A and B are shown apart, each in its own frame.
Chain A
């Protein structure tokens, strides 16, 4: 017969100050873990959601990022009209030759400046990215020094609202529209016309070509082979999804930090739980004796104390999850090591992350409770009853 849970709960209440202190230390560990992992997760999901499974990206051979890749104009001409490239109703190839340029803008909150990505896109660039939607204003007109910005950039940087003008080099750019991009990496970008970008920023090349291939897989395979095999075209072709998946490694240091911190801190919290449980066992020696006399088995006592430790830490885990929740959806930014530009993203706390936090708490409870529970179960009945 198991010792009723009510017994444990009431015991936790009786020593509420000790319970509270231990619970809080577990809670803080869980909160730190969930918060840091939410940061890493938000960053990762931003990249993962950016690519479109239907698109291919063309970069210079050896390039790992669009911003450092170079594709010459005659190469663009040759690639655009290849057989595998899909065409729209007017026969226009669905291929957007693009260029990424870093510009330095002042932050809105007075914390200095950061690099922002300016993407020069071709006429079909917007159509190739169904996740990007113009929500305010209008699209830029090529040649008019106009741009559209993402809502996040508009919020984070000075002079980036519709109607504003910001200066980069000797050119003033007028913001004429604002877009949203379903939490993808495009939300950290400013878009202008690709050829205008090349003219203003003095580049005689493009950075990449985004292609929507035809649906026939065989034709596409032949096209990729032709492009990569062509000695005159020094390029590589990869699915857009894969390109962005590679960038999730930006989140690696954060995950590292989160992992190390969580493990170290949880060992500390498990020590705290162990201390508490030892004290509890010591103080209740007489009760343990009484329970045994009443007919409870050693195993029941063992489970009862283990359960108490688990309840204690799970309560802490719950509090920790609650503490971390307000962070969900909070916007922040970091530098991408691929593009050296700031990428904006949000903390993402998902149910499974909270679940992981609770599992963490549970582990701390079990680790902290095992030894004290064993001690309790092994107490000889008579000695226990005699103790003061």
Chain B
């Protein structure tokens, strides 16, 4: 019998226990991977090269306060600014509050320059720019409601006292979020009687180097005015939101460690069961001339293999579920865009693998240690 054969036979000697253990390791790693992915999605919002150049200017008091539109011209004149676009979160209701999707009123002529990673059709963009009541819709929202180009939709304002009636002029794909809808800022501004107020300005900087200077310059320009501004990178802006949800990091981090700890307990106790039950055989092996390290190697290989199979099933299952939720399950719509996607990254898979490895080693340390130290005679005498 070969050594691998011997290890396999040992592993399979109690099939029930093997299955139960593998399954509990798989469950734990499944949970671990899902939790880490959730944490990753929440704290590392998807980002692109284009996004790194984008800055958001908001009212210093909070996002709930608005800025005068006349700031736009002054921002555009600042050195380092490539484009400056008005953007207001509309937050209206389409039919029912449950039909939520993000809605933004923007400068129609600047949309493609600012969100340059999304793919727009030039003809559709031209049609959108010509029609004051036109809008551009993300492919996911299009599909969700079964809309076609040319359809008319009405949004009921909740934050803003107006109900824009929009005509779909185009679709965009790609970019970070394919659920948004963009329409003309000028249109709602008119509906509200030319209040000339805007939620935020989105800037594209000329290069990454000018960003720190630019942030200072924008905020200094409006210091000591009625509406002081706070400028930050898109990433910092998004992370601000996440930090408000609460101490997600601590919560998920502590749950993950509890899960891992529980898993170590379970696997270690199973391994010790498995090894104690064969203390006689191990004594026989010793009597045959195997030394402690060789026996330890056999036990380690078994425990490691067990953990690895469980880990692969668990992390693989999580990866598949993540893929399914992102591509088939439409997680973005179901979670109110809390999760745009649910992607188990290679990084997370790698950490799951490392944990599995550590688990395999730790869980056999104690039982292996006791067994190896047991003398041949005591081992042979053992009954249980």
Contacts and interface: CB of A to CB of B under 8 A. Distances in A.
Interface residues of B, number: 55
B269 A271 contact: no
Contacts of B335: 253
Interface in B134-176: 156-159, 161
A81 interface: no
Contacts of B265: 21, 24-25, 272
A12 interface: no
Given A18-B273, A115-B62, A170-B226, 9 more contacts: A36-B255, A169-B228, A268-B24, A271-B24, A272-B269, A276-B269, A278-B17, A278-B20, A335-B244
A373 interface: no
Contact of A169 (B61, B157, B268): B61
Contacts of A282: 277
A36 B245 CA distance: 15
B113 interface: no
A201 B64 CA distance: 10
Please give me the 8 A-B residue pairs with the lowest Cβ-Cβ distance, nearest first: A102-B64, A335-B244, A21-B269, A334-B246, A271-B24, A268-B27, A102-B62, A272-B266
B30 A112 contact: no
B262 interface: yes
Contacts of A333: 246
Interface of A: 17-18, 21-22, 24-25, 28-29, 31-32, 36, 60, 62-65, 67-68, 70, 101-104, 111-115, 168-170, 201-202, 253, 261, 264-265, 267-269, 271-272, 274-276, 278-279, 282-283, 332-335, 337, 340, 342, 388
A169 B335 CA distance: 34
Contacts of A63: 158
B28 interface: yes
24 contacts: A18-B269, A21-B268, A22-B269, A25-B266, A29-B262, A64-B158, A68-B91, A102-B64, A202-B226, A268-B27, A268-B28, A268-B262, A268-B266, A272-B24, A272-B269, A275-B20, A275-B270, A278-B17, A283-B384, A332-B246, A333-B246, A335-B245, A335-B246, A340-B63
A262 B299 CA distance: 32
Nearest to A116: B62
Interface string B252-284: 000100110111011011101100010000000
Interface in B232-264: 240-241, 243-247, 255, 258-259, 261-263
A25 B64 CA distance: 46
Contacts of B261: 28
B21 interface: yes
Contact of B62 (A22, A25, A104): A104
A32 B258 contact: yes
Given A21-B269, A102-B62, A275-B270, A265 B259 contact: yes
Interface in B10-33: 16-17, 20-21, 23-24, 27-28, 30-31
Nearest to B223: A170
B383 interface: yes
Contacts of B227: 169
A111 B159 CA distance: 29
Residue of B63, B224, B246, B269 with highest tally of chain A CB at under 10 A: B269
Interface of B: 16-17, 20-21, 23-24, 27-28, 30-31, 59-65, 91, 93, 97, 156-159, 161, 224, 226-228, 240-241, 243-247, 255, 258-259, 261-263, 265-266, 268-270, 272-273, 277, 335-336, 338, 383-384
Residue of A170, A271, A278, A342 with highest tally of chain B CB at under 10 A: A271
Contacts of A62: 93, 156-158
Nearest to B163: A62
B338 A253 contact: yes
B62 A271 contact: no
B258 A278 contact: no
A101 B16 CA distance: 61
B64 A269 contact: no
Contacts of A21: 265-266, 268-269
B272 A102 contact: no
Contacts of B30: 264
B146 to A, nearest CB: 24
B242 to A, nearest CB: 9
Contact of B224 (A36, A170, A267, A275): A170
A295 to B, nearest CB: 25
A275 B273 contact: yes
A279 B228 CA distance: 70
Contacts of A169: 59-61, 65, 226-228
Contacts of A388: 383
A112 B143 CA distance: 39
Contacts of B156: 62
Contacts of A101: 61-62, 64-65
Contact of A68 (B20, B158, B245, B384): B158
A17 B243 contact: no
B269 A332 contact: no
Contact of B255 (A32, A267, A332): A32
A233 B17 CA distance: 70
A21 to B, nearest CB: 4
Nearest to B267: A272
B338 A67 contact: no
Residue of A25, A60, A113 with highest tally of chain B CB at under 10 A: A25
Nearest to A333: B246
Given A32-B255, A169-B60, A265-B262, A274 B20 contact: yes
